Chains A and B, each alone.
Chain A
């Protein structure tokens, strides 16, 4: 095995061995999916239509924003990055490999949700599978990139939680998972386009589930892909090996550039 596969293999196993990561990668998304599947259609029957895309987007949000940044901050604080630097492990591998393994865990969870939802809850499946896979990849890239960027710029785990929740909570409320985009007030709907979840739900509805998208679905896919690429680029640029996270090439506020594709998307949607 070469260095990449060795690193990938170890990080993948960490996602199962580490209790916090196991919770965020599997237990929380799958538990929430089962709960929503059993409860929500009873309260709100039309929710069944959105069960598969909403729970896949939820799984991505949980595994990335709640699972990815903290281990990065901890690793820097206890000197793991220093050890990696001495042994020639590049910053790009340190940042991208955990994101890739998270996407692999998410793929497994997505397969479980997609395969069981029709059997357990009689939920509809996507009608366009390439659109479903493409949107999943775009959303996973965007969220993994932004979560990695949060881990890079956060000075401590407390701040990490703050940044992560700043995206996770609004995504749950306004991202189209619980309440459809069309039912949001105009201002809230417009602002919600700054969230990856809104873009992903819009793309899934328009490109995978056979529904009418609220705004340009291909535009949403492009916004998600661009923000993912931008987030990883910024994360590598702003990365610090230092355990106190004090020395880096640019100011942490540069990270806000990651919002640029969403702002442009919002203006043109």
Chain B
């Protein structure tokens, strides 16, 4: 098993009477892409900013690559890279200047190759205020990774990016991961979290309500798996034909669509029925509940329970 690069134990953060984070604990392993998900006000930003050393925790302990973010800020700056949600740069600075400026403080050579890779080559002499939102975010990412940090924090990294930039960013994230960089990803984009994260934690009202791989999390929900089948003949067109573990079925665009609670028996029975009717299978699609479906399920049910308890 790999080492834990991030250790969070009973972490608590309050603002006056408001408990933003209520005693959460989790570990992130080296080289892992870890998604931090949750609705607005769930405690994501407080957790991230405390790990980044921007806020002091009110309880528990935090370690990032062995460094206490609140007590060892100088050590922390060289082990983390942060792509902040807002640009956070002076309006008149150019990508070239800020790359030199930040790299000088990190005591590393400027990484102009990253500007080129992230599509900023033609904007290297433009002022920050002249860059589009997507270009500003790409510049923030280039700056965050320029000093080869052990841990990279990305807050909504693909917001405002076009499809090609998004794909380039995901490639870069996988490349960094392959080199051993641990990535903490805070996002509202569930498809992105599901596609790229090794594990995710869902926060709700300052607590972790579930943590695991996207597959584990989607598998534990009450959601039904959708099985869409199209055949050459009419073996499935009789509404009286039923299959095991199917809760309900519909017909749409020449497809018979079954909603199953247990995919194995359902698919086996459908195929056996088609063969028995000497029909030919043209298309079969299985769609598990997505992370977004599971996220909505969790936030609705847990949110309702929490509201009821108050």
Residues of A within 8 A of B (CB): 1-3, 6-7, 10, 13-14, 17-18, 75, 78-80, 82-83, 85-89, 241
Contact = CB atoms under 8 A, between A and B. Distances in A.
A89 B80 contact: no
B186 to A, nearest CB: 15
Interface in B69-93: 73-74, 77-78, 80, 82, 84, 86-93
Specify the main secondary structure of chain A where it touches its partner.
helix
Contact of B88 (A3, A13, A78): A78
A14 B84 contact: no
Interface residues of B, number: 28
B92 A6 contact: no
A17 B105 contact: no
Contacts, number: 66
Contacts of B97: 10, 13
B77 A83 contact: no
B22 interface: no
B105 A83 contact: no
B104 interface: yes
A208 B84 CA distance: 51
Nearest to B84: A83
A88 B105 contact: yes
Nearest to A16: B92
B86 A79 contact: yes
Given A17-B127, A80-B89, A86 B100 contact: no
Nearest to A88: B77
B92 A83 contact: no
Contact of B90 (A2, A14, A85, A241): A14
A223 B179 CA distance: 57
B47 to A, nearest CB: 16
6 contacts: A79-B84, A79-B87, A83-B88, A86-B54, A87-B106, A87-B143
Given A1-B100, A10-B93, A241-B54, A89 B88 contact: no
Contacts of B106: 87-88
Contacts of A241: 54
B104 A1 contact: yes
A79 B89 CA distance: 8
Among B78, B90, B92: residue with most chain A CB under 10 A: B90
Among A7, A14, A88: residue with most chain B CB under 10 A: A88
Contacts of A7: 101, 104-105
A2 B92 contact: no
Contact of B53 (A13, A17, A75, A86): A86
B255 interface: no
B102 interface: yes
B32 interface: no
Contacts of A1: 100, 104
A88 B84 CA distance: 15
A18 B102 CA distance: 21
Nearest to B56: A247
A85 B104 CA distance: 14
Contacts of B78: 88
Contacts of A2: 104
Contacts of A10: 90, 93, 97, 101
A234 B84 CA distance: 29
B52 A3 contact: no
A7 B53 CA distance: 23
A79 B45 CA distance: 14
A86 B84 contact: yes
A14 B91 CA distance: 9
A17 B100 CA distance: 18
A87 B92 contact: no
A7 B74 CA distance: 18
Contacts of A3: 101, 104-105, 107
B140 to A, nearest CB: 8
B93 A85 contact: no
Given A1-B100, A6-B100, A87-B77, A78 B127 contact: no
Contacts of A6: 100-101, 104
Contacts of B102: 87
A75 B101 contact: no
A88 B147 CA distance: 12
A85 B86 contact: no
Contacts of A80: 88-90
Contacts of A87: 77, 102, 105-106, 143
Interface string B93-123: 1000100111011110000000000000000
B125 to A, nearest CB: 12
